[in-house]
Amino acid sequence: VKTGREQEGMMAEAEPEGEKLVALTFDDGPHKGSTERLLAGLKEREVKATFFLIGSSIEGEEELVEQMAQDGHLIGSHTFHHVQLTSLSLEEACGEIIQTNEAITEVTGQTVEYIRPPYGSWNSRLECAVNMREVGWTVDPRDWDVKNTETIVKRVLGDVKDGSIILLHDVYDTSVEAAFQIIDELKAQGYTFVTVDRLLID
């Protein structure tokens, strides 16, 4: 005899829903140790993520950035000094973005098309000056604040849905461990992980 839950499960299998997509994004890297561990875990799980890098953190960590590109992750800008772009002059703001793009391109050979402005601070003036696509987020567990793996995982799993863009920071070991648990759980729920450009295009 099948329980109601088992019967529901059988029905779900008989009538599969469309593909559920989710994007994992990481800000503030690269960071020796935690980013390195994250890249290894993503590769093991065959997951592609999106990294928004701080330009000033790239020097000395070029191998990590190169590995991101080789592993098929999407790399974007998070400014050179993690600054609030709208508080700067247009010239200063563009300098922050261009300097970061050049640092990334020098390592990867790839053009940088996406930016996540720190604090989500962006305006049309910047859009006109820099030909880049701004990327926000839909799920924010405030991992930088709580620094607790269990809490981060619980918050993400409670808010995630098809098309979600999850915001994490790869400079914290608690966030890296949370990312692995989130991936394993969402994969079990039938989610497919994609780079953020897939969701923006759709």
**What is the per-residue DSSP string for 132-152?**
-EE---SB---HHHH--HHHH
Q: Is 31 a catalytic residue?
A: no
Among 31, 143, 169, 170, the one annotated catalytic: 169
Q: Is 73 a catalytic residue?
A: no
Distance CA 86, CA 84 (A): 6
Give the ranges where 61-172 is alpha helix by DSSP (H): 62-70, 90-108, 124-129, 143-146, 149-159
Burial of 140 (C-beta count, 10 Å sphere; 0-12/13-18/19+) = middle
Distance CA 170, CA 61 (A): 14
Nearest to 196 by CA among 82, 76, 78: 76
Element (H, E) at 173: helix 173-188
Nearest to 182 by CA among 125, 134, 143, 144: 143
> What 8-state DSSP symbol labels residue 130?
S
Which pair of tokens denotes residue 66?
A: 């190169």
Which residues are tagged catalytic? 27, 169
